[in-house]
Amino acid sequence: MPIFTYLTTTPPKYTSHMALILPGSGASASVNLESIGQASSYASSAFASDSVSPTQTYKRLITSNRIRLAAAQNLGLAVVDLPMPSIDLVDQTGLIRVQMTGHSATEAQLRAAAILHAFQSELTLLRNDELSMREQSAVSAIEDYRISVAATRADIDRLQQETGFLSKDQFSAQVRDNDALLVLTKNAQARLIEKTAYVTALEATLGLPTKTAARVLNLYSDNSYLTFSKDASTKAALLAEMRSQYGTQHPRVVEALAQYKRAHDSLVSIAVMRTGLSHAEIANLEMSQKGNRTDMLADLMRSEAARQGASAEYETLNKRCQDERRKLENMAPMAAQLEDLQRDFRVSEAVFTSAIARGQSSKVDVYASYPLVQVLELPSLPLKPSSPRRLLTIAAGVAATLCVIISLTLGWARFGMINWLIARREQRRA
């Protein structure tokens, strides 16, 4: 009778089943940026960590009040009227089995579908919220990188304006040019030393300094001097002839000597007037035009002109080399600083661009924190109620009845045995 009452009064319950599965592989994305680098995004497998179980996480999420509340609102029910879903995790797999009960098959299926929809919506919301927070953090970091790149670029522009160098290579090129100029300066110095030595040797050979030699050479081209020189030579020849024929006190010798002295004095006076030298300096000079003396004087003048040209060339090159050397020494610290800034700029620019690329590529990885979950089985439509189970209830009732009968039988047998034992004890006493 109680079994019949239970079967007739208990309302039937239907259970809808659905299954979710988490794929076991990860996902990765890689972007190659020419001349900059590579931006990679990698999402580990949901089961790569032993400390966190995604199936347990999703189990707690499905049974959370947020999911029940959202599902109840979708069904138009109060949250207390929506039962807690039953979750079963299959060991060593990524399967999540969900069961939802209802008073009818359709109601159970709708409740399971509402739980599934609320779960998927909540996952989407959580993923979007995570991406939004990551994007905000990335935007803040990218802004810091941008400010750093802009500051480095401003420092580079300032140094370029101060030094005139666009890069360290330009400074290195100027250093190479200065080294080449130094070689030219050394060569010019060697030529100057060579020409100076040649001029000094000619001056020693002629016994004349260069300035005096120039005056003497100019004197050799003076017609008046040449006339007096010819006359003095004639008088000298006449004196030599008279001395060869007569004694030193002979009137002709005395007269020839007097004529020679007058011619020589006139020649010296002309030389003093034309050269500006003193009588003593003129007297010590070798005024002869014999042999190659005139050619040597001309060679001395040409060599002195070449020496002066070599000296001017050396002084010009040396001054230019020293000026550029001092300029390069002053610019060397700035050039090194410019190189450091340009290296920092390239690094900052690469970091900045990579940060942007990572920020964009990370948007593809929406399953990093909340792994991908797929619906393996949609909410089923139960064909028969899951409770009460008639056969199981009848079997339980029959078993309970048998237990009661056995208990009564044992009680009756125990009562008879007790009476027999009491009667036997009384007989022994009698």
Residues 136 and 177 in one domain: no
Q: From residue 79, give the alpha-carbon distance in Å to each of 59, 73, 82, 209.
A: 19, 8, 5, 125
How many domains is the chain built from?
Answer: 2
In a domain, 41, yes or no: yes
Local confidence pLDDT in tens for the 430 residues of the chain: 555 555 455 567 889 999 999 886 655 556 565 555 555 555 555 555 666 788 888 999 999 999 999 999 999 989 888 999 999 998 878 899 999 998 889 999 999 999 999 999 999 999 888 888 877 777 777 777 778 778 877 877 877 777 776 666 776 777 888 888 889 999 998 998 998 898 888 878 777 777 776 666 666 665 566 666 666 677 777 777 777 777 777 777 777 777 777 766 666 666 666 565 655 556 555 554 444 667 777 787 788 888 889 899 999 999 988 888 888 777 777 777 777 777 777 777 777 777 676 666 555 667 777 888 899 999 999 888 876 666 666 676 677 778 878 888 887 777 777 777 777 777 777 6
d(CA 86, CA 84): 6
DSSP 240-265: HHHHHHS-TTSHHHHHHHHHHHHHHH
Please give, one letter per residue, the 3-state secondary structure of 289-326.
CCCCHHHHHHHHHHHHHHHHHHHHHHHHHHHHHHHHHH
The per-residue pLDDT for 70 is 92
The per-residue pLDDT for 177 is 86
In a domain, 355, yes or no: no
Residue 63: Cβ-neighbour burial (10 angstroms; 0-12, 13-18, 19+): middle
The per-residue pLDDT for 291 is 45
Residues 125 and 150 in one domain: yes
Are 180 and 344 contacting, i.e. CB atoms less than 8 angstroms apart?
A: no
Residues 47 and 114 in one domain: yes
Residues 138 and 176 in one domain: no
Nearest CA to 296 among 229, 225, 204, 196? 204
Show the beta-strand stretches assigned E in 145-217.
Answer: none
Residues 74 and 222 in one domain: no
Residues 182 and 138 in one domain: no
Residues 47 and 187 in one domain: no
Are 138 and 351 contacting, i.e. CB atoms less than 8 angstroms apart?
A: no
The per-residue pLDDT for 99 is 93
Residues 222 and 190 in one domain: yes
Residues 250 and 178 in one domain: yes
3 state SS of 268: helix
Question: Token pair of 44, please?
Answer: 């580990």
CB atoms within 10 A of CB 239: 20
CB atoms within 10 A of CB 282: 19
Question: Token pair of 133, please?
Answer: 């927070």
In a domain, 423, yes or no: no
Angle at 246 between CA 243 and CA 251, to 5 degrees: 95
In a domain, 139, yes or no: yes
Q: Which domain holds residue 53?
A: 2-155+360-406
Residues 9 and 147 in one domain: yes
Distance of CA 81 to the CA centre of its chain: 62
Residues 151 and 179 in one domain: no
Residues 82 and 188 in one domain: no
d(CA 203, CA 198): 9
The per-residue pLDDT for 119 is 94
